[in-house]
Each structure stands twice: as C-alpha cells, then as structure tokens.
C-alpha cells in the first residue's frame, strides 16, 4: 500500500509562510513515491489551489482540519465540504483529539462528519487514540472501540481511500512517541476491527496512520511496522525539510 505522510498544521502559519512552504515544496517534490498531504487552516486552502493549479502532482493533496457533514446551512463558524472542495481539497481530518478536547467533538459527531466527507467526495482521515490515564488503566482498545463504534454503524462502506489515524493523546506535541511496537500493537487491532466491520478487502485497503511526535529521527522505525501505513505529523510538518525527511523515511 502506498504510504501517506500527512501534515496537520493546526492553527499555525501566516499566509506568507504558507506561500513560502508551498513554493519550496513545489521545487522539491519531483516524482513522489509516497502520497503527501497538508492540512492548513481552512482560510489558506485557496493559496494551495492557486499555487498548485498548474503543477498539481497526482500524489500531493490538501484539505481542511474539520468539516461539517452537510453541504450548506445555518451552521455559523462551520465549513462546508463543498466549499473546501472548491479550493481543490481532496482529503479532510476528522475527529482530531484537539477537536474532541476543546470543541466538544464526540464519537458520534465525528462519525457523522466522516460520513459527510465520503458523501461529498472527500477522503477522511479519522482520528482515534487514548489518553495517558486510559493507557495506564489498560483501556486503550476499549476507548478506541468506543471511538470507532458510531463510525462503523453510520458508514456502511468506506470510500476507497479511507484512513484511520492512531494518535495517542499523550504523544501529541509532547515529544513522547509511542514505541514502534506500541503503535504496531494498537494498529494491528484497529485493522482487525476494520476487517470485522467493513470486511477483509477494505481492511487491506484502509491506511492506518500513526500520529504523535513523529520526527525525521523516529519516522523510519515507526513507519517500518507492518500496520503503520503512514504518519499524521504535527510540529515536524511545518518545515519543508523535516516533512520531506519523514516522507523519505516512509519510502525506505
Ligand atoms: P505532533 O506531531 O506535533 O505531536 O502532532 C501530532 C498531531 O496532532 C497530528 O495530527
């Protein structure tokens, strides 16, 4: 399966910094042997479509960090999947732990957004993961099962490029990475859950990404695990050099 290295820019970068990154990466990506995606603040999506219009690579994608599940309506402050698509978005992050922690996203609302994404033709990256307290209480898979349950009941058939990102909350922005073995252990279980709900073929097609303090120094080990099909990178995706080093590690 072709790995996906995705950069979640969260609430970082000014327009001129976005432009600088895009122009730099455009010079350096050449023929990509992995899929690359960037998730900027939604207001910066038009910059991506402008800069990459003439030079869009098949394997370079962008999209928002969240979307509403309806195409339009009286939902102040939300983003329509169709508006995101107007600016070339092909993917979207759904249910990130920061959305859950700070903005009241629930397992059900995340599942609804994933269904909305599929309905309107965006490829979701659906995030799951446990807190440190939950891991220490040996509740990791119980929590992930709860996060996945509404998704499996609402989405009967995933889109061809559905991704699930395992992002242990304790590893996000903390510099603490799950060991390659910890990531593999959980991601193997996630693949089994996909298989029992969506079948063997979809389980083999769904990409399962790892996220949480992925850096050029640890990427290779994590990405070499059989059930790690890519990475969702925060801090280290903000700089072209480190983002591309992670992409290179996925390729080895
Ligand atoms: P960091 O790579 O900064 O830990 O962030 C991970 C993340 O939240 C990606 O979605």
For 88, the domain range is 4-9+14-251
Whether 212 is in the pocket of ligand 1, judged by its Cβ within 6 Å, is yes
Confidence check: pLDDT of 252 > 80 = no
Q: What is the average pLDDT across 25-29? A: 86
| Per-residue pLDDT, 251 | 78
Confidence check: pLDDT of 36 > 80 = yes
More confident position, 53 or 102: 102
> Does the global pTM surpass 0.95?
yes
| Per-residue pLDDT, 97 | 97
| Per-residue pLDDT, 56 | 75
Sheet holding 35-39, edge to edge: 60-62, 35-39, 4-8, 230-233, 207-211, 163-166, 123-128, 91-94
From the alpha carbon of 97, which atom of ligand 1 is closest?
A: 8
Cα–Cα distance between 216 and 237 in angstroms, integer? Answer: 10
Angle value at C-alpha 8, between 142 and 162, nearest 5 degrees: 55
The total number of structural domains in the chain stands at 1
Percent of the chain with pLDDT over 70: 100
Q: Based on the residue annotation, tell me whether 68 is a catalytic residue of this protein.
A: no
Confidence check: pLDDT of 27 > 90 = no
Residues 169-204: pLDDT tens digits?
A: 999 988 888 899 999 999 999 999 999 999 999 999
CATH number at residue 174: 3.20.20.70
Whether 169 is in the pocket of ligand 1, judged by its Cβ within 6 Å, is no
From the alpha carbon of 173, which atom of ligand 1 is closest?
A: 4
Whether 213 is in the pocket of ligand 1, judged by its Cβ within 6 Å, is yes
Show the tokens assigned to 246.
């992670």
* Spatial CA neighbour of 190 closest among 252, 130, 106, 123: 130
Cα–Cα distance between 209 and 5 in angstroms, integer? Answer: 8
Q: Based on the residue annotation, tell me whether 167 is a catalytic residue of this protein.
A: yes
Q: What is the average pLDDT across 74-102? A: 97
Q: What is the average pLDDT across 120-135? A: 96
- Closest protein CA for atom 2 of ligand 1: 234
Choice among 105, 112, 130, 167 that is catalytic: 167
Mean pLDDT of the chain: 95
Choice among 44, 68, 96, 105 that is catalytic: 96
Whether 216 is in the pocket of ligand 1, judged by its Cβ within 6 Å, is no
């Amino acid at each position: 399966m072709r790995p996906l290295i995705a950069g979640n820019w969260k609430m970082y970068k000014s327009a001129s910094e976005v432009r600088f990154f895009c122009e730099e990466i455009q010079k350096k990506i050449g023929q990509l042997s992995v899929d690359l995606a960037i998730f900027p603040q939604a207001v910066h999506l038009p910059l991506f479509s402008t800069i990459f219009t003439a030079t869009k690579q098949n394997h370079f994608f962008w999209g928002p960090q969240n979307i509403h599940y309806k195409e339009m309506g009286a939902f102040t402050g939300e983003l329509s999947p169709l508006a995101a698509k107007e600016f070339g978005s092909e993917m979207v992050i759904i249910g990130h732990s920061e959305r859950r922690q700070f903005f009241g996203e629930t397992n059900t609302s995340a599942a609804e957004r994933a269904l909305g994404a599929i309905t309107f033709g965006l490829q979701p990256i659906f995030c799951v993961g446990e807190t440190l307290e939950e891991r220490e209480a040996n509740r990791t898979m119980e929590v992930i099962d709860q996060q996945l349950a509404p998704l499996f009941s609402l989405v009967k058939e995933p889109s061809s490029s559905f991704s699930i990102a395992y992002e242990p909350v304790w590893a996000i922005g903390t510099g603490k990475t799950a060991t390659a073995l910890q990531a593999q252990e959980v991601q193997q279980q996630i693949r089994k859950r996909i298989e029992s709900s969506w079948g063997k073929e979809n389980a083999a097609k769904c990409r399962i990404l790892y996220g949480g303090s992925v850096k050029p120094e640890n990427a290779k080990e994590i990405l070499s695990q059989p059930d790690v099909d890519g990475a969702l990178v925060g801090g280290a995706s903000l700089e072209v050099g480190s983002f591309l080093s992670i992409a290179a590690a996925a390729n080895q």
